[in-house]
């Protein structure tokens, strides 16, 4: 468990569908985000070197560099989510026969859930950045691949929503009120206006598809 980057895609999907504790929604959100930025890299690669897009080449190179960094990190987070879920699961399995054991268990659960929030928050930040890249790439990227930018935007917005769900569900069991309020503000700031950005990219995608010629 927790090394799916080295496995076949079929193995991941089979384990996802099985009655197993992980992978689950958090890992899937990271994977979907990685697929989204992967598409942005593909479009960038098919734009670079084309005479029609020479004026935007420097900016496209920057987009490609950033999308590749995001893709690498989101792929790592596919496994990282599984690892932190294992820590939460282990904390819940601690004994609770005595008051002391209950206290130790409660503290362990609190710590594990706080640590587990790091992954969906990073997934969310990465997806927000990916959406910003998509908004620019739909304008200056290879128009013949504009549909792929639209797909990327849809995936990134979905992955961001998944990250939001995972943050909220973890916050439900954390008793540290200040911590909870702080993380609520963080996730709100990430999701704010992101659906709007996705819609902007999709509208531009639709417009360009209507006018593209081969």
DSSP string, 4-21: GGGS-HHHHHHHHHSS-S
The whole-angstrom separation of Cα 84 and Cα 140 is 39
> Does the predicted model carry a pTM greater than 0.85?
yes
pLDDT value, residue 21: 87
**Low-confidence residues of the chain: pLDDT under 50:** none
Cα R_g (the chain), whole angstroms = 20
Residue 57's domain comprises 4-211
pLDDT value, residue 23: 94
The neighbour count for residue 165, using CB atoms within 10 Å, is 15
Number of domains observed in the structure of the chain: 1
Report the CATH number that the domain containing residue 26 is assigned in CATH.
1.20.120.680
pLDDT value, residue 2: 60
Contact between 96 and 42 (Cβ < 8 Å): no
pLDDT value, residue 195: 84
pLDDT value, residue 1: 53
Which H/E stretch holds residue 166?
helix 146-171
């Amino acid at each position: 468990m927790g090394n799916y980057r080295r496995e076949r895609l079929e193995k991941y999907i089979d384990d996802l569908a099985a009655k197993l504790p992980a992978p689950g929604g958090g890992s899937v959100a990271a994977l979907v985000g990685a697929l989204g930025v992967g598409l942005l890299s593909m479009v960038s690669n098919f734009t670079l070197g084309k005479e029609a897009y020479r004026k935007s080449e420097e900016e496209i190179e920057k987009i490609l560099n950033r999308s590749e960094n995001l893709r690498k990190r989101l792929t790592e987070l596919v496994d990282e989510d599984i690892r932190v879920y294992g820590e939460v699961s282990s904390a819940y399995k601690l004994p609770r026969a005595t008051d002391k054991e209950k206290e130790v268990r409660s503290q362990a659960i609190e710590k594990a859930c706080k640590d587990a929030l790091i992954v969906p928050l990073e997934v969310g930040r990465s997806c927000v950045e990916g959406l910003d890249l998509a908004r620019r790439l739909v304008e200056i990227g290879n128009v013949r691949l504009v549909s792929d930018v639209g797909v990327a935007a849809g995936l990134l917005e979905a992955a961001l929503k998944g990250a939001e769900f995972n943050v909220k569900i973890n916050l439900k069991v954390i008793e540290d009120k200040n911590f909870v309020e702080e993380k609520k503000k963080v996730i709100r700031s990430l999701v704010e206006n992101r659906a709007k950005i996705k819609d902007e990219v999709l509208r531009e995608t639709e417009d360009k598809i209507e006018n593209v010629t081969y």
